[in-house]
Structure formats: C-alpha cells, structure tokens
Amino acid sequence: MDNEAPVLIAGGGLTGLAAASFLARHGIRSIAVERLPQSSPLPRAAFFHMRTIEMFRELGIEARVREESAKEFVPDGALIAMDCIAGRKLADIISNLNEGVDEVSPCRRWFLNQPSLEPILRERARAAGAVVLQGAEITGITQAASGVTLRVRDIDGASERELRGQYLVAADGGHSKVRELLGIGYQGRGAFSKSLTIYFTADLSPWLGEKPWSIIYVNNPVLAGFFRMNRAGRVGFLGVNTLGDPKVDPVAASNAAVDVSEARMIELVRAGVGKPDLPVRIDGFSRWRATADVAAEFQRGRVFIIGDAAHLMPPNGGFGGNTGIHDAHNLAWKLAQVIHGHAHTRLLDSYASERRPVARFTVEQAFSRYVARTAPWLAATQATDPLAHDFDIEIGYLYGRDTVHADPRTTRGLPGSRIPHHWLERDGKRLSTLDLTGGWLLLAGPDGQSWCDAARQAARDFSALPLEALRLGADLRDPGSAFPATVGIEASGATLIRPDGFVAWRSEKSVKDPVAVMRAALGAALGWH
C-alpha cells in the first residue's frame, strides 16, 4: 500500500469518510485510518439536515441517500413527546420535519442509519482514489515543517507502518487519540448524564401504526429519553438519559447506564412503551455521556480537529454528526486550494476561526433542546440560550460576522452567509444556485458582463485558479427575474461564491475598475492578503 498522501485522516467513520469524499471531490487524495475493521452495525446518527444533504448532492449521492432512507423511515416525520408510547401525548415538538424546507433548499431532511450511509461515503471516496485503512490504530504523531508522520499499528498487532502526508485531519471521535497526543482538551459544561442506548427488537406497530413519528420523547416516573423506530415499528432503540425523579436524587438519576443487565434493559424498554409484558429482544447497547463541550483548539500546526473530536453535544436535534460533516466540508476545499497552490497557507487558519464559533453556538443549542425536551429540572441550575430556529442552525450559520447565525430567509447573499437557494435554468435544465457551487463561482446580474470578464482575468493571477463566471440572461435564465434581489445585488452587480457555497464578496453594482476589485476580493478570499 502507498504510505503517502497529501492528507491523512484519523478516523474512517462518518466524519472521516465525509472528509475523504470532499477532498476527493477537489482532487486531493487521502489515507484514512480507522480502528474498527468494519462499520458499527448500531444504527447511530440517523437525522441528516438539509445542509448536509446539499453536500451529499454535491458529491452525487443524494439520490442513494434518499432511496436508502425510504427503506427504513417514513419521510416528513414528526417529533413528539409522550409519557409512554402506549400512553398520552404530552407535546407536538415538530409536526413535520420538512415544513418550510422547500423555501430555503433544493434538498429535504432525511433519516438514515449510519451503517447504511457509511458504505455509500466509503465507496464514493475510494472510487475517487482515497484509501480507507480499516483495522488499524494510531500510536504516534510527528510534525515537521514539511508535513506530518503517523505511526500506525494493525489492531491485531501483526504489523506497524508509518504514513506521511502534508496535513492530518483528526476525525477520530470523542475519545480522539490525536487530540490526546496533542494535549488538546475540551472546554464547556462537561458531562451531565451517563446515558444508555438500548438497541432492541419489539413489535410496537399496534401503537405506532402508520403514524409519522420519527422521534418520540418519553418522560415518566421511570425514565426520560427518546425512541427511534424503523418504518415497520419493530426495530429501533431507546436512549435513556435519566432514571426516576432527578429532583430527589440528581446524581443517581443522571446515571442511566449503572445497570446494563438484559433484564434491566428489557424493563426500561417496557417502561418507555408502557407495556409491562411486552416481548422484547435486546440486540445491543452503548454507554455514552451526554456532554456539551468544544475543543480548546481546532488546529495545531498541520493538524486539524473535526467532528466529535472537536465538539461533543447531546443528540437532541441531531446536530452532532451534521456539524462534523460541515467541518469536513469547510476544511476540505481550503486544504485543496493550498495543496494545489492557489491559496496561501493563511487560508487554513480560517478553519478554526470560522468553525469554532459555529461549534460553540450549535453545542449550546443542542444543550438547550436537551433541557427543554428531556431534563427541564436542569434549568434551575444551568442557564440555557434561547432556542434559535432550526433553519438558523442548519443553514443560517455565518462566517466572519459579528453574529454567528441569522435567519437564512433574510440574509440575501450577505458575505459570510451560504448563498441563498434560488431556482435558475441552464441549457434548459432547472437547477438551484447551490447546484452551481463546488468550485469558485461568480454570478453576475444581467448587466454585469464586466464582472465576468474581470473575474476570469483576475483568476489567472492565482496560479490559473479554476473559476466559473456566469451572467444572468446569457449563461443562466432567471424565470422570475428575482435572482438579483435574492442575493442583494442590482442588475449590474455580482457575487463571488467560495467552493463551499458561502459568499466571499459581492458588489451591488458595477464599478470603475472591476479587475482591481476582483483581484483584491480573490486575494482576500485565498488568504494572500
């Protein structure tokens, strides 16, 4: 096996495979090192947000994700709270997961079990040249001015080797070996529950039937947690966060994983369902800590921290896995631009400055939802942030602004925001503005030809930077003539979009020297000044 690649990745799970896929999309080969010899069969991280699906759309795997999701889950599901599945509804949290989504994205939210998604990502990465080395663990890291060396050992102890790369991406989870070797700790609230996930088989169809309930929170005198079941209502899991009454004994209540005997887990499933005689088969379990923490550093030299290695949050809202994928998407294009010689290495510093504030915001939002939905008793001792709209968290996060998030329906192409979704036509085909992204892109209004010419000329100054410049009315058709207003420009204006779909710069109208302006805009966006 070739022991060298431009980028090494610690971790070949969800986030590591996403990083390998995004890097391959930008023409960068990687080697991912994964300790597990095969994907975990446990159905984790099932809720994927529209921004994540937009990224999968860019990779060309959106249709496969949708097809796999339809096999397992009811689309457009709901989140509800009940005292138990067979009992009384306490609240409708979200009536339809995709309500309002079509207004802001070409993609919809989907549920998909991680064991179904990881093979899709692995196949996508390998097809583009990435190497995924499974059944190996990292034992050491050495950084030098020219690159990073990893010491890797097969988990069976059969062989050891060294891998060399220009950069290392640590996507090796909450117990990250890389972060440990670098001495980078977490900051935040710490753990507030020793939680337990029970994977089981039981026929809950008499109570679930055809009801579109994707997540069912349960709160009763025995436990507080949540169910997620498959489409047939016969296979799923119960996440248990607290036991008994936390107001009486908060320490004991928060230790839900104290007893993992089969008899006790069956008892908990029955208590969550509300049927003491329900036949239940336990398929597995996992202990985990409900935590709200962010790594103190997201970068150390040539090493970058992403995913759970960079941030830990409770599962409420499904933000953890999605945020990790967004980390990978943000970092991949920057590494590619530097490795290809288009950008200054300073561009890589923007990974931490952009993603760490977003991670802090998202972690706190997940914690606020945990308190509101599962542990309201914590509100007496821990202040929580006001709940932001889910759109703000999923696609409304901002880079380089005074605020970390905004309503994406109102940002209108503000620099630092994701380019708004707007339907256009190209060569008779309907497509979203987001379908045009993936590389450097200039979109100009109907009277903005000077911006297109200037962008192409300026791009040649940055090692022939690949850049596509498109003008409304010539290269693209805007059926409703609403594109300029959607992105905050006039007919003679233009907007410059980064490879990750975020707006780097815009000019509302034409200027006297567009070439000089474009050189400055690209130079700033690429880290040259």
How long a stretch of residues is the chain?
529
Which of the pair, 155 or 312, is modelled with greater confidence?
Answer: 312
pLDDT band at 210 (very low <50, low <70, confident <90, very high): confident
Q: Residues 41, 135: one domain?
A: yes
Give yes or no for residue 227 having a pLDDT over 60. yes
DSSP, collapsed to helix, strand or coil, labels residue 233 as coil
pLDDT tens, position by position, 471-516:
999 999 999 999 999 999 999 999 999 999 999 999 999 999 999 9
Calculate what percentage of the chain has a pLDDT beyond 70: 98
- Asked if 14 and 150 sit in the same domain, the reply is yes
The confidence band for 159, taking pLDDT boundaries of 50, 70 and 90, is confident
In a domain, 308, yes or no: yes
pLDDT band at residue 145 under the 50/70/90 scheme = very high
**Is the predicted pLDDT of residue 1 greater than 60, yes or no?**
no
* CATH code of the domain in which 374 resides: 3.50.50.60
* Pair type for strands 131-134 and 30-34: parallel
pLDDT exceeds cutoff 90 at 41: no
Domain boundary among 374, 392, 410: 392
Task: Pick 157 or 258 by higher pLDDT.
Answer: 258
Q: Is the pLDDT of residue 272 over 70?
A: yes
What's the pLDDT tens digit per position in 356-388?
999 999 999 999 999 999 899 898 889 999 999
In a domain, 124, yes or no: yes
Could you say which of 392, 409, 431 is where a domain stops? 392
Average pLDDT over residues 5-20: 96
Residue 207, classed as helix, strand or coil, is helix
Verify that 362 and 427 share a domain, yes or no: no
Residue 430 domain-assigned (yes or no) = yes
- Residue 253 counted as domain residue: no
At position 6, the amino acid (one-letter code) is P
Q: Which of 338, 398, 397, 339 is nearest to 527 (CA)?
A: 338
pTM beyond 0.75: yes
Q: Which helix (H) or strand (E) holds 23?
A: helix 14-25
Same domain, 116 and 28: yes
Domain that holds residue 64: 7-73+109-187+292-392
**pLDDT tens track for 318-338:** 999 999 999 999 999 999 999
433 with 382, same domain: the answer is no
Residue 197 lies in a domain: no
> Which residues contact residue 386 at a Cβ distance below 8 angstroms, ignoring those fewer than 6 apart?
368
- Orientation of helix 14-25 relative to helix 319-339, angle to 10°: 30
Which pLDDT does position 402 carry in this prediction? 95
Residue 125 lies in a domain: yes
Q: Are residues 133 and 20 in the same domain?
A: yes
Domain count, the chain: 2
Give the catalytic positions in this structure. 217
Higher pLDDT, 78 or 2: 78
Note whether residue 104 is domain-resident.
no
* Amino acid sitting at position 156: D
> Which residue carries 């409708």 as its tokens?
92
- Domain assignment present for residue 413? The answer is no
* pLDDT per residue as tens digits for the range 97-137: 999 999 999 999 999 888 889 999 999 989 888 999 999 99
Q: CA 419 → CA 19, 39, 245, 442, 520, distances in Å?
A: 22, 34, 47, 11, 20
* CATH number for position 495: 3.40.30.120
Domain match, 444 and 504 both: yes
Residues 155/37, Cβ–Cβ less than 8 Å: yes
Per-residue confidence at 44, pLDDT binned at 50, 70, 90?
low
Confidence (pLDDT) at 269:
98
Query: For residue 439, what are its two tokens?
Result: 């590389």
Q: Are residues 377 and 298 in the same domain?
A: yes
CA distance 257 to 381: 23
> pLDDT tens across 51-82, in order?
999 999 999 999 999 999 998 888 888 999 99
**Are residues 57 and 143 located together in one domain of the fold?**
yes
Pair (432, 388) in one structural domain: no
Close Cβ partners of 261 (under 8 Å, ≥ 6 residues apart): none
**DSSP assignment, residue 502?**
B
Shared domain check, 432 and 378: no
Instruction: Based on the fold, state whether residues 463 and 383 are members of the same structural domain.
Output: no
